[in-house]
Amino acid sequence: MEFKFHHLAILILFCTLMLVVGLYLLANFNSLFKRYIKNELIRKNFVVWLIAICFILSISPTSPEFSRMAMAGKVMRYYFIQLVAATGMALFVFNITWYVSELKWVQFASFRKKMAVIMTTIILCTMLAGIPVNYFANKGNFNKLEFTLLFNFYLGCMTGLIYVTMSYVDLERQKKLNEKELEVSRLQALKTKAELDALHSKINPHFLYNALNSIADLSITDGKKARKMTIALADLFRYSINYSNHNYSTIKDEVAMAEVYLQIEKVRFEDQLNYSISIDDSLNHFLVPRFVLQPVVENAVKHGLKATGKMTEIKIKIQRGSDGLVMIIGDNGPLFPDELTPGYGVKSIYDKLDLLFPGNYEIHFSNQPCKQVTIHIHKLMKDEPVV
């Protein structure tokens, strides 16, 4: 009696273990063995086979047939027959269901319709698979076929309900994941906008400070020039205010804004400053970060004319590159030092390009064959909604 009790305890423990393993495989159905089996259909067939084996091993001892064959010492034969039958049924049902679920009209159907079609397919396939199993299990005869069909109908319903439940859980999980991703994207967009607004808010007062100083000086010596600079300053800030909610501007507008700045400086320094602008007209409506040209132009004036007091020539050239657009700002001022430390204005250009064109730009400072700053934006944006 003690011997039988120990065997029963081991059998119960084994069945429980198989049930737990089967449930674990079922819960992680979509992610198992991805590293080892690349083909999705083969991988999922393998997992289905493992699940079928685990469930058969866990429920077989409850069958009266198991007790009868155990008494006759044919447990291994019983398990072999059950495993072959379960494997054939599971793979048949799974592959037919997979085929149906991949049909376009099923994929584009609503969740309820899709689940109804798949559940119906699972039930019918399970019942259909039970017919040959009954035939071969009874050595070429149909025995209690009605009971087999009824049992397989129940088994198909349970399998279908498990599938629907798992699909619903996955759907809800995906919805929550999409909501989180949308929230993260929204917060990232707000963060980017806040950072760009902070950059603009620092640049605009910088314009105002320099321009007002120039106007203050000229108001004493030359009222007409002061008036001209005031009008130019108004144009400059009209540009800034009109586009205050945008982080991009067109090449045409950006060049116009840089030219207004140069006009302000030319009014002040007269013949000591000359500039020329060359632009490929086909690029006029492409988008770049706002205030991407002016800081470089201002540096050319600051380190050229203001630092040396000598005649300064600034050349702005915008052309199409092999994979984007190229903005070149050259001047005849002092050469760039070997170890260049960008000031706030140039650093703001890097910051804006990092935010708006991450990984899609290059900035080069060169002294040969002539002194110039080259900004190469690899991604062309035209008529896109502004951020």
pLDDT of residue 137: 60
pLDDT of residue 202: 54
Top pLDDT among 84 and 6 is at 84
Q: What pLDDT band is residue 373 in, cutting at 50, 70 and 90?
A: very high
Q: What is the average per-residue pLDDT within 55-75?
A: 68
pLDDT of residue 335: 87
pLDDT of residue 143: 65
Give the other-Cβ count within 10 Å of 164's Cβ: 18
Most confident of 139-153, 292-306, 358-372: 358-372
Cα distances (Å, whole numbers) of residue 181 to 143, 176, 194, 356, 357: 56, 9, 20, 19, 21
Q: Return the domain boundaries, the chain.
A: 2-181, 222-377
List, for residues 11-22, the tens digit of each pLDDT value: 778 888 888 888
Top pLDDT among 47 and 65 is at 47
Q: Phi/psi zone of residue 49: left (φ > 0), alpha (ψ -120 to 50 degrees), beta?
A: alpha
pLDDT of residue 316: 93
Q: Is the pLDDT at 385 greater than 50, yes or no?
A: no
Q: What pLDDT band is residue 193 in, cutting at 50, 70 and 90?
A: low
Instruction: Name every residue whose Cβ is closer than 8 Å to that of residue 257 and which is 6 or more positions away in sequence.
Output: 236, 239, 249, 291, 293, 294
Q: Is the pLDDT at 245 greater than 50, yes or no?
A: yes
CB 46 within 8 A of CB 91: no
Determine the Cα–Cα distance for residues 50 and 33; give it in Å rounded to an integer: 12
CB 327 within 8 A of CB 291: no
For the entire predicted model, the pTM comes to: 0.49
pLDDT of residue 1: 39
Q: What pLDDT band is residue 386 in, cutting at 50, 70 and 90?
A: very low
pLDDT of residue 319: 92
pLDDT above 70: percentage of residues in the chain: 78
Determine the Cα–Cα distance for residues 228 and 247; give it in Å rounded to an integer: 29
Tokens of 343: 């000031």
pLDDT of residue 161: 86
β pairing state of 312-321 and 273-279: parallel
Pick the CATH number of 222-377 from 3.40.47.10, 2.70.70.10, 1.10.10.10, 3.30.565.10: 3.30.565.10
Question: What's at 152, amino acid-wise?
Answer: N
Q: Is the pLDDT at 4 greater than 60, yes or no?
A: no
Of the listed ranges 42-51, 124-133, 156-165, 180-189, the least confidently predicted one is 180-189
Top pLDDT among 109 and 79 is at 109
Determine the Cα–Cα distance for residues 365 and 165; give it in Å rounded to an integer: 61
List, for residues 252-273, the tens digit of each pLDDT value: 988 988 888 888 888 777 778 8
Determine the Cα–Cα distance for residues 258 and 350; give it in Å rounded to an integer: 18
Of the listed ranges 51-55, 102-106, 263-267, 303-307, the least confidently predicted one is 303-307
Most confident of 98-112, 142-156, 162-176: 98-112
pLDDT of residue 294: 83
